[in-house]
Structure 1
Amino acid sequence: MEVFKSLIQVVNVLSAVVVIVLVLLQHGKGADMGAAFGSGSSGSLFGASGSANFLSRTTAISATIFFCSLFALVWVDSKPGANAGAGVMSGVVQTQPASGQEKTPAKPVQNDNQSSIPN
């Protein structure tokens, strides 16, 4: 089961990186304004329609893979009996002081100087 979980984690991380790269590769809607005035080329590597269709479809597919792998990780971790009785503090070791080193609270000291101060 741990190998399956590790494989899902690798797919999750890779799909997240692909989504990030694809989103950064896409150009915004304001970039088309420059192409309208002749500074951009109408033909591109992805054809006359540009890279919008290819990149948006690939982003949608990789985002779907990311969310499916995320749900698979949640499903693997939430199986009954996988973490029975495990809580947030399950890995913390609590130590107790040795029996000979117990400290008693200090008694408050009364100040005798207060009685000699005149009101």
Structure 2
Amino acid sequence: MRKIIAATFTALLVSAGMASAQDLYEHHLNHLDDNKDGALTRVEYEDFMNSTFRALDTNKDGSLSVEEASKVLTQEQIRAVDTNQNGRISRQEFMRQVMKDFDAADKDGDGSLR
């Protein structure tokens, strides 16, 4: 599931016209690093992912349909995130997974990614 972080960044930034992987990395780190300290904190990431969920939830029903989620996730990822297997991803399911992914990427456990 660590790929959800990269997939979400990539899908959102490619749609914004970013091209290369280096551009993507620099853009999303700079964009999400609110205090510009060179690190993406857990709080900064959580804020971004909450905004991402709201943007993906185009019909504003509080959950992501397969169609909405497929903009950033593969079918396999959708099935894994949809823990109650009801065919929709709730905000809670989405946030639980993306924050789990953040924690897994935070190798030194300091609450930030560099």
TM-score (norm 2): 0.26
Higher strand share: 2
TM-score (norm 1): 0.25
Q: Which is higher, the Rg of structure 1 or of structure 2?
A: 1
